[in-house]
Amino acid sequence: MSADTKEKTVNGSGTERHLNMIEAINEALDIKLREDPDVIVMGEDVGYFGGVFRATAGLQEKHGKTRVFDTPISECGIIGVAVGMGAYGLRPVPEIQFADYIYPGLDQLISEAARLRYRSAGDYISPMTVRSPFGGGIFGGQTHSQSPEAIFTHVSGLKTVIPSTPYDAKGLLISCIEDNDPVIFFEPKRIYNGPFSGYYDKPVEPWKRFDESIVPEGHYKIPLGKARHVTQGEELTVLTYGTMVHVAEAVCREKGVEADILDLRTLVPLDIEAIEESVKKTGKCLIVHEATRTSGFGAELSALVTERCFYHLEAPVERVTGFDTPYPHSLEWAYFPGPVRIGEAIDKMMAG
């Protein structure tokens, strides 16, 4: 347990462990490496160094160089090797160091991994989980800050998962590794160590609800395709995921709006039943994501809500997103869908 991990004894009955997201991901990988000899962790700098963000720290020392190992700097090669491993019975967990680097591996992901089960009539599968930090938060500019989730949600045969809390990160990652289909597991680097306030000039907040960082020891799973109710309310539905869960919640709290905030957690498969139920209850739907607006996943959500809930809507569906520009460096916090833009959208919707 790292120095950042906190423990709290409750009523003398036991210890609650408060982990950040990096620690929770590391623990999920450690558990699966220990439980399943077919699980392999691979990628650039994941072995000896323990990953750029330290998510794989200590795993090579604990499980050996044949289970956790460094690869050449070739994303196409990393994904291609993982496809072959999966086809022959292993469960590889390749890391792409930043989501921005994943594009050379798209052919292997789309043409091979996503289609293998169908193309082989079920004789072969590709049970691989591709982990990758994504989104902004480190002033990485256009080569280290992209949010390309919509590309993968468009591909039949791939699942796309994005956690927003340490508890979810561990449980979802274990579910992904045990799944028999290829999964893209995007990790919002901006909240690796806790959620931000949403303002550049305000300090990082602790986890607003401390229970979100309570991560049980041992094996547990969170099913894919199930959204999480962050808050429940009657005035507005907010559909979001990843970092934006915390920003949207902070804005609704500051404005006193009783919002039904849904953390989608998995974009594919999508919990459309929870979305439909919420929007029919509130009559208003706000969609928030960090990725660029045009053809972003918010457009798909907007279409689904309109198709299924049209006669229940009291206002047009609103989207607050990143801008249709290359990701900026010095203007990163202006690019984020922050409290000002989200607040303006909420005011517009509440005004009818």
Query: How many Å apart are CA 113 and CA 184, to the nearest integer?
Result: 11
Going from the C-alpha of 97 to that of each of 19, 243, 320, the distances in angstroms are 22, 19, 28
| Greatest C-alpha distance within the chain | 60
68-70 and 39-43 beta bridge pairing:
parallel
**What's the rounded Cα separation, in Å, for the pair 231 and 247?**
13
Looking at this protein, which amino acid is placed at residue 52? V
Under a CB-based contact definition with an 8 Å cutoff, are residues 50 and 58 in contact?
yes
The Cα–Cα gap between 103 and 105 comes to 5
Alpha carbon separation from 321 to 112, 127, 318 (Å, rounded): 31, 32, 10
Name the catalytic one among 18, 144, 246, 289.
144
To the query of whether residue 144 is one of the catalytic residues in this protein, the response is yes
Q: CA-based Rg of the chain, rounded to a whole angstrom?
A: 20
CA distances (Å), 13 to each of 9, 16, 118, 211, 246, in order?
Answer: 7, 10, 50, 17, 31
CB 114 within 8 A of CB 86: no
In whole angstroms, give the CA distance from residue 197 to residue 98: 23
- Residues with catalytic annotation? 144
